[in-house]
Structure 1
């Protein structure tokens, strides 16, 4: 190769097929490689290596993060959302398997006018997703979330929306597999919102594990007490019209309390609202 072609190669001015021929020739010609080194600009070469290193070291976007950025979500927000544990395939697969088994069992039993087993379980899944999305103990990206330049309450809401979108979406698909129960199969929705909102509102005081655990335990205790009072074959109180009204009121109250406590979700080395000790 002559020196003019080598300079054009260095400056990126060669186009295919001449560029391909130059690449092949340089790979086998030591003399041209030595000449190439003499005509190259050291500063440009160093800058090129730096760009290559940065490109190689840059984290690769996963399918969830790529989808979020394509629909207009900011890069840093998409990164924090994609890191949410409940958006991982292992969690989604586990939840899907639980819902499928519950739907199969509900359809097999058909011993009541209301799908009690499904309605009892469905509200717990979004609550469990919330518990897995925050805090040092359960969130593998906790440190990244703490140092992110974002208000703690905003991060809380971003991840909660992700949790509810996934959880309620899967629950909704499972509901479609219970067509014989009609609208009664949707009686899980308001309790799910009430449990999730209450768990979030208690997090600043009790932590990201204890708060959802207590709320879930209270829900199970309520169902057991309602079952003992109603007996076999009846509709449990939380799934009656009155129970749905109470669940809606609890969800609204929890949302208001959560807004009032929004400043307590800012994390710092001395104040960690998601720690197991809580904020108290």
Structure 2
């Protein structure tokens, strides 16, 4: 090497008095330069030197935040919350890509069918996506980071809400973009929103008692059964997407939200039994 750390800087480094950016430069150089390490061993205090190397090892071993986590940190999100959000399984590219593919196919089907009242396939699938996303984001059976999450000093209900908000923002955002691709249907293309909130809130409220797999499965199955029953009636617009059906969905979402708040402490017991 043609450059070495000055001896006075090495003394300051050993005493913990070297300030950035010289400190960072010295750290990087000492890793690769045996000569400067030998000089440091001669001029430095062994105890302080060991502490410095321990600090350097800790910095080198610390995990580097990824792009999404770094963005959350820049937005002012606490580091532990940002880490929990970044570890949400359904925020990974595979899940988001699958959701986008489903929405693209349903939007394409809406454009190719002859129905003019409402894009039925899109409205049927869109409420299920946030429900499935929340189910995949919480619970020992589906979340690969579950054991790490439950030992974090975070209330179980708060952890669930953090993951749920992340899933809803991503899922509803993708659904909203898909809705923009259906301008010909007007407000009918937004009829998925209230059912999506109702299904997600109901699934969460039942999760405290039935678990993160059975609860959303039952809610999703009930939604499919309701759509099949409405289709069997032969009406042009399915009942859940009429004005009356939207009102019922809003009421169900409100009631399920209240029930979820009442059973919020069950999630801590659910976490403990799972671990």
Match of residue 9 from structure 1: 10
CA RMSD across the alignment: 2.5
For 2:172 and 2:270, the matched residues in 1 are separated by 31
Query: Do the aligned residues in 2 keep the contact of 1:7 with 1:40 (CA within 8 Å)?
Result: no
Alignment pair present for 1:37 and 2:78:
no
Alignment pair present for 1:228 and 2:200:
no
Match of residue 249 from structure 1: 251
Q: Give the 3 Å change call, closer, same or farther, for CA 62–35 of structure 1 in structure 2.
A: closer
Q: Give the 3 Å change call, closer, same or farther, for CA 261–33 of structure 1 in structure 2.
A: closer
User: Larger C-alpha radius of gyration, 1 or 2?
Assistant: 1
Query: Do the aligned residues in 2 keep the contact of 1:152 with 1:265 (CA within 8 Å)?
Result: yes
Deviates more, 1:40-49 or 1:80-89: 40-49
Q: Deviation digits for residues 125-182 of structure 1, max 9, x if unmatched? A: 0000011011000011111121111111111111111111111111000000000001
Indicate which of 91, 109, 115 corresponds to 1:111: 115
> Could you say what secondary structure the match of 1:148 adopts?
coil
Q: Give the 3 Å change call, closer, same or farther, for CA 220–33 of structure 1 in structure 2.
A: closer
Q: Give the 3 Å change call, closer, same or farther, for CA 135–7 of structure 1 in structure 2.
A: same
Deviates more, 1:192-201 or 1:93-102: 93-102
Q: Give the 3 Å change call, closer, same or farther, for CA 36–49 of structure 1 in structure 2.
A: closer
Q: Give the 3 Å change call, closer, same or farther, for CA 200–8 of structure 1 in structure 2.
A: closer
In the superposition, the TM-score normalised over structure 2's length comes to 0.87
In the superposition, the TM-score normalised over structure 1's length comes to 0.86
* Displacement after TM superposition at 1:268 (Å): 6.4
For 1:70 and 1:214, the matched residues in 2 are separated by 39
> Could you say what secondary structure the match of 1:271 adopts?
helix
Alignment pair present for 1:183 and 2:204:
no
Unmatched runs of 5 consecutive residues or more in structure 1: 276-280
Alignment coverage as a number of residue pairs: 261
Once the two structures are superposed, the pairs formed by residues 1-280 of structure 1 within 5 Å of their partners are 5-12=6-13, 27=33, 34-231=38-235, 234-267=236-269, 271-272=273-274
* Displacement after TM superposition at 1:83 (Å): 0.8
Q: Give the 3 Å change call, closer, same or farther, for CA 170–269 of structure 1 in structure 2.
A: closer
